[in-house]
A and B are shown apart, each in its own frame.
Chain A
Amino acid sequence: MPDLERRADYFVGHFEAMASNCEVLIDTEDKNLAQEITRLAAAEVCRIEQKYSRYRDNNILHRINQGAITRVDEETARLLDYAQQLYQLSEGQFDVTSGVLRRAWHFDGSDNIPSAARIKALLPLVGWEKVQWYNPQIQLEKGMEIDFGGIGKEYAADRAALMISTFVAGQSDTHACSTPVLINLGGDLAVTGPRKNGNGWQVGVNSGASTMSPQAADFSLKQGGVATSGDANRYLEKEGMRYSHVLDPRTGWPVKNAPASVTVVAASCTDAGMLSTMALLYGPQAEDFLREQDVPWWCQWHNKEYLL
């Protein structure tokens, strides 16, 4: 049972999922409604987690990764179509088959850099272009794996927001049917609309030692979502060189001089997540990429001495 907490003029529901603390902010005074909304959000997020977790052996992802021809359901088909579009849009930088590289890379702060030969051996198992995807059938080459880890949390946040919007719109009570909600899955945010008073949701972005876009200066979230990519604590360090955990699927090596983390606001949490991930993949050009997108963003860099 998710727990509920009353704040000034709204409720906050809490639950744990996708290895994150999850929150649902519900702009209502109605406790029962808040409870129901939290339950819905938790159910949807858990459903997606179970369906696409790569740590389970009883889900669709596991079946696909066995390498046999697999017929997939509509939701999985949409995710695969999306993965394909992102692969094309990012010119191969974003690739749901790149998870295989984690067999060589363990970003635990150590100096445990894999050998070039090891990476080279893994590369044939990476690359969406090798995937036989003819909706609704997919087949992977032996040893390849698909991993929705790079989309999952953001997708879950948007899905939960969408479900809540539909649920709320169906309420007969006129007050209830315009209840705005914010979903927060460990820092990835999606809202169903501005707050009842017309203002955006106040969102604090940890912007220590970072650069940001002009739109980000006084920012509140009215529509869409926010997502952050990058983790300053996940890296490897050897001979004064810091390897960020952002891997380029085309080389199998970390992107050099990538920002520590990038936060983006966009039309949806999934969009925000994709833009922030791609910004990281642009490495030192991350800010150029972000400026081109014309969205609010924050970019946090590692200490400059690590830059080559």
Chain B
Amino acid sequence: MQLKKTQQGPRNIRRQLAVATCSLLAGASHASSLIASGDNWKIDSALLIYAEKDRVSLAEGILNIRKEIDDDEFINARIVTDVLTGSSPNGAVPSSTAQTFTNPSGNSTYTEAANTTPLNHTFKDLRNALSVDWDTPLNRNLRGTLGGNISREYDYLSTGISASLAQDINQRNTTLSIGFSLNKDTWDPVGGVPAGFAVMPAFPGKKTISGSNTDKTVQEILLGVTQVINRRTLMQANYSRGQSDGYLTDPYKILSVLENDGSGNLRGTNPYIYENRPDQRTYQSLYWKGVHQFPNENVLNVSYRYFWDDWGIQSHTVDLRYRFDFDGGHYLQPHLRYYQQGAADFYRQTLIDGEETTLSYASADYRLGEFVTQTIGLKYGFEFKNGAEINFRAEMITQKGKDRSADAVGILQNQQLFPDNEAYLLQGGLSLDSDMVIKYIMRLFK
């Protein structure tokens, strides 16, 4: 520690002393109000481990860097890497006998035991993504944001741009916003893009493909209103509409085709065919969120979304987070989420022999089915006096679906067709200011 050089004679220290004493006596309240000075880089990072029972595991790391480049003008960059391993349902239904499938590559086979949900065991993927946003004031009450993003997997490339405007009105108590995004994605699936309803050939046959790669575009528009209700309450309401065009099918998902005798047995030849979806989807959603701080400083954050599309899917999502603040910068935040979805019109858990020639579209992807997702979680966070934060959370996610009675024919009535799921999520996060990193490094060398 350095002392100032003694000045000539005594100097007035009363004011500095009084300020110091004020902090001593009043007890500085916690640093949540401390905002890092804009010259620094704000660094947020998180590591997520997601594991499904007997299925997929995912490790995902994020690094987010935000810097104020001019008055109230920010650049935000985010790097994400995730590694996925394990297996996921391939769309076929369980059977009383073992089932053998040909891998998408066509080079090998895998066998699923009797009475279990068939899973594609060769799932292994590495994804790297980068997104950059530029957020700037256009005038005192208008902000604009421009963003770009790219995400790369070994069989998938997604690139996109987005732009939004936010106009404050009503003495900044109301914000109107509008946003657009455009994404162009390219599939380069292993073994090529299967033709719609192409049969999964027995090894070593090759499936019929429509090409080696394919693509889709996704456009979205969002209109939103954010309203300050009072000193402690804030609400947001959005309407959004999106449209996807192009190849919207999952190139790895198949359907089981049954004999048309009501027995529920797989048909004798080529019992599995690749799924086929429409090449356009229009979806809309209404979203509402409220944030309220109680006099005890706890914060409730609750949202509801109603989503519907022209595939016949509609869903309701309720999300609730409640933050309890404790002395010394600790907080706990329970999280509850409830999601209920109705099935797409062309969702089928099985097909009957011959239907593939009469139907235009069919998919057994459980994500297009009728199901409920429930999430329960708890987050613990600690805010340091200097504004840094460290946090952890653990969540349990369960997914339970409803079988279509029309598809559960004959012996399949004894099987659970929908692949219910149970997953656990662990996350750790750390937020810092570049200043703190520098100070910490200097302390290490001291």
Contact = CB atoms under 8 A, between A and B. Distances in A.
Touch between chains A and B, by CB atoms below 8 Å: yes
Interface of A: 74-75, 78-79, 81-82, 84-92, 128-129, 134-135, 155, 158-159, 162, 266-268, 270-271, 274-275, 278, 282, 285, 288-289, 292-295
B444 interface: no
A134 B436 CA distance: 13
Contact of B328 (A74, A86, A288): A74
Contact of B25 (A87, A159, A266, A292): A159
B10 A267 contact: no
A291 to B, nearest CB: 8
B172 interface: no
Nearest to A131: B1
Contact of A89 (B6, B20, B23, B25): B20
Contacts of A162: 25-26
Given A92-B3, A129-B1, A86 B12 contact: no
A288 B9 contact: yes
A78 B23 contact: yes
Contacts of A288: 9-10
Contact of A82 (B9, B14, B24): B24
A88 B21 contact: no
Contact of A289 (B10, B20, B443): B10
A91 B6 contact: yes
Contacts of A294: 12, 14
A89 B17 contact: yes
A292 B10 contact: yes
A285 B10 CA distance: 8
B4 interface: yes
Contacts of B4: 88, 91
Nearest to B30: A74
A94 B110 CA distance: 79
Contacts of A270: 21, 24-25
Contacts of A278: 13
Given A135-B385, A275-B14, A285 B9 contact: yes
B11 interface: yes
Interface of B: 1, 3-4, 6, 9-14, 16-18, 20-21, 23-28, 327-328, 385, 443
Contacts of A74: 27, 327-328
B1 A88 contact: yes
Contacts of A87: 1
Contacts of B21: 82, 158, 267-268, 270-271, 274
8 contacts: A75-B27, A267-B14, A270-B25, A275-B17, A292-B10, A293-B12, A293-B13, A293-B14
Contacts of A86: 17, 20
A271 B17 contact: yes
Contacts of A88: 1, 3-4
A81 B27 CA distance: 11
B8 to A, nearest CB: 11
The secondary-structure label for the interface of chain A is helix
Contacts of B328: 74
A126 to B, nearest CB: 14
Contacts of A135: 385
Contacts of A267: 14, 18, 21
B3 A274 contact: no
A158 B4 CA distance: 29
5 interchain residue pairs of minimum CB distance? A289-B10, A82-B24, A85-B20, A293-B14, A267-B18
Nearest to B386: A135
Nearest to B23: A78
B218 to A, nearest CB: 49
Contacts of B25: 155, 158-159, 162, 268, 270
Given A88-B4, A270-B24, A274-B21, 15 more contacts: A78-B24, A85-B20, A86-B17, A89-B13, A135-B385, A158-B21, A159-B25, A266-B14, A267-B14, A268-B25, A271-B17, A275-B17, A292-B10, A293-B14, A294-B12
Contacts of A274: 17, 21
Contacts of A293: 12-14
Contacts of A79: 24
A268 to B, nearest CB: 5
B348 to A, nearest CB: 61
Contacts of A295: 14
A154 to B, nearest CB: 9
Contacts of A85: 16, 20
Contacts of A268: 18, 21, 25
Contacts of A292: 9-12
B14 A78 contact: no
A270 B327 CA distance: 25
A128 B1 contact: yes
B300 to A, nearest CB: 27
Nearest to A130: B1
Contacts of B18: 266-268, 271
B327 to A, nearest CB: 7
Contacts of B6: 91
Of B17, B26, B327, chain A has the most CB atoms within 10 Å of the CB of B17
Given A129-B1, A271-B14, A81 B9 contact: no
A288 B10 CA distance: 7
B140 to A, nearest CB: 39
A176 B77 CA distance: 58
Nearest to B16: A89
B331 to A, nearest CB: 16
Contacts of B443: 134
A248 to B, nearest CB: 13
A239 B146 CA distance: 83
B418 to A, nearest CB: 52
Contact of A155 (B9, B14, B17, B24): B24
B3 A91 contact: yes
Contacts of A129: 1, 3
